Structure 1
Amino acid sequence: MSTKTKLMTAVALTTALTAPAASAETTLKVSHYLPAVHGIHTDFIEPWTQQVTECTNGEVQFEIFPAGTQMGNVARQQEQVMAGVVDIAHGLHGIPRGRFPATSLIDMPFLTDDAGAASYALWELFPEYLSDEYNGLKVLALHAHNGGVLHTNEKKVETIEDMKGLRIRTPSPAVSEMLSFLGADPQGLPPGEVYESLQRGVIDGTVFPWDPVKSFGLNEVLNYHLELGAYTVSFFFVMNERSYEGLSEEAQACVDKYSGGDLVAKFGDWWDMWDAPGRQDAIDAGHQITELSDEQRAQWEETLQPMMDAYLQSVKDAGVDNAEEIYLAMQDKIAEYEAAQQD
């Protein structure tokens, strides 16, 4: 090798060693179980991924898998993110049953019908009371929906007696217990199967807030709606811990910036916005919407008190020794939120 060639080789090697390395791009898989037209996708998850990508100057990219994709199964969100099949997942605490017993206490009847209050309570109590249920996960947000509505196709429900024998789709263990206690027959179904089940007469109705009624097109197969507001249902937005730790410190800071308390605080307003079109569609279709009076709600709550006591005991028996303490703490945080909203 000539002296000139050796010199050129040395210069090239030195340049390669001293030049700044190009930032490696990371693509994270995000899964959720709702249609891509739902506000969870359009107003929450899609913008969240865009914010993180912009914050990282493109270092972190995302691929989103909603309902209808190979990773959009509601029953598999938790196991997929734990296994690292996806990096981030948004799912229901109550499906599959029994995996988040302490967190799911927020689903107890008549605890709150406000998404903002329930979401605030969950996030405030997470560090002290709920974190053990998320080992191996980086929790980005916990939240809940507005008070659920009882929707039926053939039978109008106005009283507790009207519930007897109705086959009603249920989203969580606490709601299943509530429906059973009221004389209904709870049916565990993923949200995406409700339309066909109603159409085929497999079920008589479902409990949902108004928003999925719109996004799943359910007003086409429903006629009656009882604005019970007796329960809420909670959700997780979590990241595989190894996926999070594999990011650069700068990328981790971006994920943190757009997650946590500031994100959780948005769900109250979001859910009010998401609920409105579903309710309006029912009105436009000529459906009958029934609202419980304060007196009727008190009667339903009184009737359900033994069920609530029994459910608390069942959670305690399942290993959550301080279930009553968590439930009372949730009541306190909800009251704290409501008081702040009035100021």
Structure 2
Amino acid sequence: MFARVVRMGKRSAALALAAGLVGGGLAGPAGAEEVLRAVTAFPAPVEFSKSFLRFVDKVNDLGEGVVRIDYMGGPEVVPPPQQAQAIRRGVIDMQYGPGTYYLGQVPEVDAWVGSTITAMEARENGGLEVMREVYQEKLGAYLLAHIDTGITFHIYLTEEPARGEDGNVDLSGVKLRSQPIYREFFDALGATSVSVPVPEVYTALERGVVDGIGWPLVAVQDLSWDEFLTHRIDPPFFQTDLVVVMNEEKWGSLSDEAKEILTAAAVEYEQESYDYYQQNIADTDRAVREGGMEVVEISGPAAEAYLDRAFETAWDRLKESGSRHYDALRDAYYDR
């Protein structure tokens, strides 16, 4: 009984927080519990999928009897390239993964790639609302949350990189596992981009198909890639674009109370996941260094040039797409 009272107290506080965010008063229970079918873009062992499951637990705790998320699985359920369309068609109700998996349809996700602020700040300055409009317009989806922010990216290599006279790295001829967000940046460094799905990266490293990868510090050990990666380039660049989206019609069909619970969970988890990953980054950094990974540090003006080159590739891509949201998104998300 005590646990139930505590849970209801948490829900009351959450609903009070969310009521203003979804625009409306508290609604009474709608009857049958709403069930949302969810998938992730990553396999279950990857840290990011574990993060989403923590979000699921939060929703299911706050929403008991009102709304529940049923986690169906990852790429084995719906291949990542098909997940955006599965959301649009209502095959699934909720999806978590990188926005850049549908970069061709939604070039505005580059605003997250090139972001220098947190999700909490974007809720305050209007950036999230701009992105919600984009998602509704281009994917027929409701953008619920931008979680796991504050996670930045590195280049990892199987051998020490060459250096130019300016102190920057020279990756001429180096084959890097890439995806669309990295390609222009890797090209600028002289590297060759190679497309390899996440489940095949281990084998690609083992066989020398690639000489390195672009990846966050978080989760680099989850799939044992650090067995082959001996060097990491600092400073980090970009930011994760990991979002929770819903089918728009499904969102619209939910009771006010269910929407308020989901909104409150999203607001809370954006902060919680940010805090969690700051500690995770520190712990993983220590672990990989202790495991023998060497850090190639770019410093001074060379570091500034390296970061400018990285971030501007994301914003240049977005500008070249012709998005009418470019100025609003740059003002909201970029403060370098």
Determine the structure 1 residue equivalent to 2:96. 90
CA drift of 1:312 comes to 4.2
5 Å-filtered alignment, 1:250-265, equals 250-259=257-266, 261-265=267-271
Equivalent position SS for 1:219: helix
Change (3 A) 1:145 1:256: same
Query: Take 1:141 and 1:45, find their aligned partners in 2: how far apart are those partners?
Result: 11
Determine the structure 1 residue equivalent to 2:156. 151
Query: Take 1:66 and 1:219, find their aligned partners in 2: how far apart are those partners?
Result: 25
Equivalent position SS for 2:151: coil
Determine the structure 1 residue equivalent to 2:292. 286
Q: CA RMSD in A?
A: 2.9
Determine the structure 2 residue equivalent to 1:78. 84
5 Å-filtered alignment, 1:110-149, equals 112=116, 117-123=117-123, 124-135=125-136, 136-143=140-147, 144-149=149-154
Per-residue CA distance 1:198-235 (angstroms, 9 max, x = gap): 11211111111111202222111211111231322312
CA drift of 1:190 comes to 3.2
Query: Take 1:22 and 1:148, find their aligned partners in 2: how far apart are those partners?
Result: 43
Change (3 A) 1:57 1:321: closer
Per-residue CA distance 1:153-192 (angstroms, 9 max, x = gap): 134355545211212122443x211111121122333333
Query: Take 1:131 and 1:248, find their aligned partners in 2: how far apart are those partners?
Result: 20
Normalised by the length of structure 2, the TM-score is: 0.77
1:214 alignment partner, one of 202, 221, 226 = 221
Change (3 A) 1:244 1:204: same
Query: Take 2:197 and 2:121, find their aligned partners in 1: how far apart are those partners?
Result: 26
Query: Take 1:288 and 1:193, find their aligned partners in 2: how far apart are those partners?
Result: 24
Gaps of 5+ in 2: 1-28
* Amino acid in the other structure paired with 1:81: I
Determine the structure 1 residue equivalent to 2:322. 319
Gaps of 5+ in 1: 1-20, 336-343
Query: Take 1:189 and 1:68, find their aligned partners in 2: how far apart are those partners?
Result: 15
Query: Take 2:210 and 2:268, find their aligned partners in 1: how far apart are those partners?
Result: 39
Normalised by the length of structure 1, the TM-score is: 0.76
* Amino acid in the other structure paired with 1:34: F
Query: Take 1:283 and 1:314, find their aligned partners in 2: how far apart are those partners?
Result: 34
Task: Verify the 8 A CA contact 1:35 1:67 in the aligned structure 2.
Answer: yes
Query: Take 1:166 and 1:283, find their aligned partners in 2: how far apart are those partners?
Result: 23
5 Å-filtered alignment, 1:199-210, equals 199-210=206-217
Change (3 A) 1:228 1:194: farther
Identity %: 20
Equivalent position SS for 2:202: helix
Report the number of matched residues: 300
Query: Take 2:303 and 2:90, find their aligned partners in 1: how far apart are those partners?
Result: 44
* Amino acid in the other structure paired with 1:141: A
Task: Verify the 8 A CA contact 2:47 2:219 in the aligned structure 1.
Answer: no
Change (3 A) 1:158 1:278: farther
Change (3 A) 1:235 1:158: farther
Determine the structure 2 residue equivalent to 1:17. none
CA drift of 1:257 comes to 1.9
Change (3 A) 1:288 1:235: same
| Bigger mean CA offset, 24-33 vs 233-242 | 24-33
Per-residue CA distance 1:238-283 (angstroms, 9 max, x = gap): 1112222333332222112212x43322333222233244333322
Larger Rg: 1
Query: Take 1:299 and 1:25, find their aligned partners in 2: how far apart are those partners?
Result: 53
Task: Verify the 8 A CA contact 1:145 1:209 in the aligned structure 2.
Answer: no
2:56 alignment partner, one of 35, 49, 57 = 49
Where relative contact order (Cα < 8 A, 6+ residues apart) is larger, the structure is: 2
Query: Take 2:162 and 2:279, find their aligned partners in 1: how far apart are those partners?
Result: 26
2:177 equivalent to 1:169 = yes
2:184 equivalent to 1:180 = no
CA drift of 1:152 comes to 0.8
